[in-house]
Structure 1
Amino acid sequence: MFYCRESELRIMNNRYDGGGFECVVIYGRRRVGKTALINEFCKDKPVIFFSALNASSHENLEALSKAVWQFKNPEGNNAPVYSGYDGVLEEITALSKDRRLVFVIDEFPYLAKAEESISSRLQHIIDHVWQNSRLYLILCGSSMSFMENQVLGYQSPLYGRRTAQIKVKALTYREMTVFRPHLSLEDQALQYGITGGIPHYVNKLDVRTSIDDAVLDNLLDTSSYLFEEPGNLLKQELREPAIYNTIISAVAGGASRVNEIATKTKLTSAVCGKYLRELLELEILQKETPIGEKAGKRTIYNIRDNFFRFWYRFVPGNMSAISTGRIRRIYDAAIKRLYPEYMGLIFEKMCRDYLMRYDERLPFIPAEIGQWWGTDPETHKQVQIDIVGVPASGDEYLIGSCKYKNEKVGIDEFRLLQSYAAAFRRNGKFRYCIFSKSGFTEQLAALAGQEGVALYTLEDIYGL
């Protein structure tokens, strides 16, 4: 089954219906569903689909020749190999002369690495031949730095040739509910906390009866696909996977600043910074700065990818039990009881996404929503605010907290928020919101009505 991506399909189909030449660039991190999107789009359309190989130029020419031959001769075997890339591109020109034809180059960075002239060759044929044709060209890639710099970037031969670009992103927590609609909202949230909205991971986790069974069978088992996934992905994307693994482990262990990460990994800050940039480009890590401030000393690193966050949180420390099959006996004590704590940061992101994407109750639309941390000038204590919404103009701010706990939230949380707001900004008007997995006390509910505090439960953020 193919779920979601209605917006992306609409963009692609609208351009297909236009009838003229198109060059659509599709990119995004691995496993996010780019190829599935393209396959869904190509249903019932004439298409030459070429998936580039991480191999030599000649091997890629052979594979491309075979893709063209199979389009011309669906039942044919023994595909001839064209003498060069110009010849196969000319053949595609001829095939698209009298019909609308989709030509897909999946994993384009592999082809560009193997045949360095391919971008220039495509530029030449687009400018002189294809721009007046009915060809629908799709260039797809998982290396986001390559696609953004070498395909979309100003210095690329292909700069200005694309007619549309689509960055395929992870699904939101709400979109994910279509995969396993039978799950409770708490299990839906946990599934998102484990897979991060990556469709491939949702399918591999394969929750049939319970999240616990799925995690034990399809993640915390040495024979499972997801158990090996972080290591395989690092090997596939990076030249020194062991060093990147050490860096991710350091961040997962609490190191959040460059000097802390460098100290834990025994790298210099300069070298560590280079590796961190790679992990940022892969969207495994992210940088965060207190909202409203420029990047600087208070910038921190944390794990952006939920699956990596889950794996590095629970697998390394339990590796012995997993390897010997004892994890089933200690799962409840070693892992499950820690889910509420683990889900804290995940829940914060869900709440911020809800406010930006779905909420219609806010009295103003924040230009940006993030978190803030700093020192209270009066108490000299460290303060962290889960939600701060900054207005596009004016002096009205949104201040909020997110609690993923098994008890109801009471008035004390609201009073704490008020003190935090004063630490964040002395002047300004504040609107307050509180999110709670387990609901609110009667006292807070009554006070919220009087004070205009917005209270949200899991049911609210899932739109129920």
Structure 2
Amino acid sequence: MAKILVGRKEEIDVLDECYRSNSAHFVAVYGRRRVGKTFLVKSHFEGRLFFTFTGLANSTLQKQITNFNVEMAQQLSISSEDFVTDWFSAFQLLRDKIAKSKLKKKVIFIDELPWLDTRNANFVQALEHFWNGWANMRSDVLLIGCGSAASWMIKKLINNKGGLHNRVTRRLQIEPFTLSETEAFLKNLGAQYSKYQIVQLYMVFGGIPYYLEQINVSQSDVQNINTLCFKSNAFFKSEYDLLFSSLFSHHQRHQSVMAALAKKGSGMTRSEILSLSKLDTGGTTTNILKELEESSFIRRYQAYGKKEKDQVYQLIDFYSLFYLNHISKVSASDTTYWIDNFNSSKYFAWSGYSFELVCLTHVSAIKKALGIQGIGSEAYSWRSGEAQIDLIIDRKDNVVNLCEIKFSLGKYKLTKKYAEEIQNKINSFISSGDSKNKAVFPTIITTYGLEKSIHSGIFINQIILDNLF
């Protein structure tokens, strides 16, 4: 079945605006590897790309230039006499071809920009000269630069301190699919999964289009996870190391931070990460955390009522979490691991946290389900010595939703003991003074809702799995 472009409406609107503009535009597109950046640009501009070429991973200047010459010959019919040997000449050749073209708009797409910036290649300087010295003064040029190494894209393009300072006219960070977009994507593949099964797949693969493409829609969610993650030569056994080595030059350090964060679902402070990862306390660790955050592997947040120095880092990449908790710990000979364990205590421990992560990445859907999407609000977590609340929605209408998140195979049964724990959390939150005299609305988010009982009335609001789509 042909691939279709799912979602990405806001991004497409930006690209269309730039395409229709009477001014030159330089668009920076970045996001996690495999998230669909290249597919978005190439599919949307199919038949309208003037020139496109892609950087080569771990390559030399000579090979990159050879690749450029080959693409110029194939796409713009240059002869071997016109071949270039450096990036300044390459952009001059591209400039000449643009100037001679009668097309109303010339869309130039350069993919994997960070890979082109090899040592002593002067690629950024040549790009800067091309844009500042000529292209930005034309009304017929739309330059789109794309890369998976978000730290490079942000440092060298978006926040460039040199000649490209403030030259990027639009920036597009491509995010993973939401649950709703994932459902649409899988349906296009021919899948007929229930929302529960889609959430199961999402908790392993996230909303990463390339990962979702690996799914065999004739198999169940459990079969797919087992086949793709635990069979001999399974795709996702090797993906993790490849993913990090392609993004970060000293990826072992980044992976040490990820391994540390995987041990505590609610996140860690910087000092806790340093203790577990054995990294030094200098600027290197700061850069690693920044790069992981920019690449959407982790998030940094300030707990409700806490100061900035108490910021917490949390692993938010679903595949990384699953790899570190399951794939990396399973013997290569255990090829039926998921089929044997998907209803075990180990499974429920992982699914509980992973479902919390699903909710934390779908706060806008939760606000819509609560009917407060039009009310100003901020989402936080909250910690005290006695209790922890994973999601707090602090509203401008003087209400705070304290959200309890529970994953369950059926309707969740609220026991007397658990109801008392919830009440203790509420009391701790109010007595801490962090409620700021606002009304407190206990809210439960669970897969199929609460089983009605004498204790269920403790929750004012209920949100179910369907509301997250």
TM-score range for the pair, normalised by the shorter chain length: 0.7 to 0.9
Match of 1:140, SS state, is strand
Alpha-carbon distance in 1 for matches of 2:81, 2:234: 37
Decide whether aligned partners of structure 1 residues 437 and 83 sit closer, same or farther in structure 2, where only a CA change above 3 A counts: closer
**Letter aligned with residue 120 of structure 1:** Q
Q: Which residue of 1 aligns with 2:73?
A: 69
| Conserved 8 A contact 1:151-1:157 | no
Shift of 1:364: 6.4
Asked if residue 422 in structure 1 is aligned to residue 443 in structure 2, the reply is no
Q: Which residue of 2 aligns with 1:306?
A: 318
Structure 2 runs not aligned, ≥5 long: none
Asked if residue 11 in structure 1 is aligned to residue 14 in structure 2, the reply is yes
Shift of 1:114: 4.4
| Conserved 8 A contact 1:96-1:133 | no
Matches within 5 A, 1:69-148: 69-73=73-77, 81-97=83-99, 98-99=102-103, 100-114=105-119, 116-130=121-135, 131-148=137-154
Q: Which of 50, 53, 76 is the equivalent residue of 1:50? A: 53
Q: Which residue of 2 aligns with 1:458?
A: 465
**Letter aligned with residue 147 of structure 1:** M
Shift of 1:83: 4.5
Q: Which residue of 1 aligns with 2:298?
A: 285
**Letter aligned with residue 283 of structure 1:** S
Q: Which residue of 2 aligns with 1:178?
A: 184
Alpha-carbon distance in 2 for matches of 1:370, 1:206: 37
Deviation string for 1:54-106 (max 9, x for gaps)?
Answer: 32223222211222221223xx9968522443333233223323222211111
Alpha-carbon distance in 1 for matches of 2:241, 2:402: 39
Asked if residue 345 in structure 1 is aligned to residue 352 in structure 2, the reply is no
Decide whether aligned partners of structure 1 residues 183 and 408 sit closer, same or farther in structure 2, where only a CA change above 3 A counts: same
Deviation string for 1:90-145 (max 9, x for gaps)?
Answer: 33223323222211111111223345533333333333322224122111111111
TM-score, normalised relative to structure 1: 0.85
Q: Which residue of 2 aligns with 1:223?
A: 233
Alpha-carbon distance in 2 for matches of 1:272, 1:84: 35
**Letter aligned with residue 251 of structure 1:** L
TM-score, normalised relative to structure 2: 0.85
Deviation string for 1:276-297 (max 9, x for gaps)?
Answer: 4443333323333312433324
Alpha-carbon distance in 2 for matches of 1:434, 1:332: 24
Shift of 1:460: 2.7
Shift of 1:153: 1.0
| Conserved 8 A contact 1:208-1:214 | no
Q: Which of 260, 275, 282 is the equivalent residue of 1:263? A: 275
Shift of 1:339: 5.3
More divergent stretch after superposition (139-148 vs 323-332)? 323-332
Decide whether aligned partners of structure 1 residues 267 and 25 sit closer, same or farther in structure 2, where only a CA change above 3 A counts: closer
Asked if residue 236 in structure 1 is aligned to residue 238 in structure 2, the reply is no
Q: Which has the higher contact order (CA 8 A, sep 6+)?
A: 2
Alpha-carbon distance in 2 for matches of 1:330, 1:118: 52
Shift of 1:50: 0.9
More divergent stretch after superposition (218-227 vs 256-265)? 256-265
**Letter aligned with residue 117 of structure 1:** N
| Conserved 8 A contact 1:33-1:168 | yes
**Letter aligned with residue 130 of structure 2:** I
More divergent stretch after superposition (167-176 vs 363-372)? 363-372
| Conserved 8 A contact 1:15-1:22 | yes
| Conserved 8 A contact 1:31-1:198 | yes
Alpha-carbon distance in 1 for matches of 2:316, 2:375: 25
Shift of 1:444: 6.8
Q: Aligned-pair RMSD on alpha carbons?
A: 3.0
| Conserved 8 A contact 2:230-2:334 | no
| Conserved 8 A contact 1:291-1:370 | yes
User: % of aligned pairs identical?
Assistant: 18
Match of 2:144, SS state, is strand
Shift of 1:330: 3.1
| Conserved 8 A contact 2:226-2:336 | no
Match of 1:219, SS state, is helix
Decide whether aligned partners of structure 1 residues 132 and 119 sit closer, same or farther in structure 2, where only a CA change above 3 A counts: same
Shift of 1:151: 0.5
Shift of 1:263: 3.4
**Letter aligned with residue 139 of structure 1:** G
Alpha-carbon distance in 2 for matches of 1:289, 1:166: 25
Match of 2:387, SS state, is strand
Q: Which residue of 2 aligns with 1:378?
A: none
Shift of 1:212: 0.8
**Letter aligned with residue 293 of structure 1:** K
Decide whether aligned partners of structure 1 residues 79 and 67 sit closer, same or farther in structure 2, where only a CA change above 3 A counts: farther
Matches within 5 A, 1:21-40: 21-40=24-43
